[in-house]
Amino acid sequence: MTFAKITGTGSYLPGKPVSNAELIAMHGLDSSDEWIIARTGIRFRHLAPANTTASDLALEAARRALGAAGRQPNDLDMIIVATSTPDYIFPSTAALLQAKLGVSNGSPAFDLQAVCSGFAYALSVAEKFIRSGSNRCVLVVGAEVFSRILDWKDRGTCILFGDGAGAIMLEASDTPGILATALHADGSHHKMLAVPGQICGGQPTGDPFLRMDGQAVFKFAVKVLAEVAEEVLAAGGMTAGQIDWLIPHQANIRILQSTAKKLGLPIEKCVVAVDRHGNTSAASIPLALDESVRAGTIKRGDTLLLEGVGGGFTWGAALVKY
């Protein structure tokens, strides 16, 4: 039987960290460092320069994941990029990444859009391709430049987000790696978190900025993250007590704390990167994973629970033997 296993991780954050105080000064926000930390847990985030795209960030993270796995670009037989902030309407950011990596073997490359659940969705899709036997070496990337869709006058949203990319190499294995996955969506909640605009006739129509009902998102996120965690644990025949590390989407420290509490896990078992990265949407889980792997916190053989929730609304989780 063929399984799918993570063989390498990589990540990339553009530029220097931007503190809350610097962000407030840059945009004249009616806020304070203390208020932002108390509400979100965020102290820093990274913001991509104007000429830097999602595929640029993805390229750096991908190179590091390839290096960690001991692979070359032409070893890849599929590239999936989870992003809500693509370089273009088309071609896909994955196709652009493929070109930048120099992959010339004709393997498929495509984007997946599930907002902050994008990495969980992309990981699940990649695992299915590998388990089917059709692919053996898949690059999965989450890459975002959310700073491009923020209204810098809206302190309720602009303080939350950052830019970055994270990547994994997922390969065929004789031993289990991805133990179980679960994915969900409910489009009836789409108004809680959206960018309700588009380009028509060369001009933006509707509202081109990210809009969010913070309280509604918080309540929904805590509920479904706990539910999908229990679902994927049951599918994998495990209990929360057997998890070595919980790696949730890094949206807000209060969501992370509430999710861990609902699962009966000490916060010490929850990987926290939101204080340094902010919310990097589809990049947040692989960013946190790579940092923890490279720091030696997460080790081979550890059991990980990855989970995300995002606009759509979408949510998903994966139980992983690293």
Could you give the domains of the chain? 3-174 (3.40.47.10), 179-321 (3.40.47.10)
Cβ pair 198, 204 in contact under 8 A: yes
Tokens of 112: 């997946």
**What distance in Å separates the CA atoms of residue 248 and residue 269, rounded to the nearest whole number?**
11
Tokens of 108: 């498929």
Average pLDDT, stretch 128-140?
97
The model's confidence at residue 235, banded by pLDDT at 50, 70 and 90, is very high
240-263 pLDDT tens trace: 999 999 999 999 999 999 999 999
Average pLDDT, stretch 182-201?
95
**What distance in Å separates the CA atoms of residue 278 and residue 273, rounded to the nearest whole number?**
8
Listed residue (102, 66, 61, 64) closest to 81, CA to CA: 61
DSSP string, 266-307: -GGGB---HHHH-B-GGGHHHHHHHHHHHTTSS-TT-EEEEE
The pLDDT assigned to 221 comes to: 95
Tokens of 114: 């599930």
The pLDDT assigned to 204 comes to: 86
> Would you say residue 199 has pLDDT above 90?
no
Give catalytic residues, as residue numbers: 116, 249, 279
The model's confidence at residue 166, banded by pLDDT at 50, 70 and 90, is very high
**DSSP 3-state helix, strand, coil percentages of the chain (rounded to 5)?**
40, 25, 30
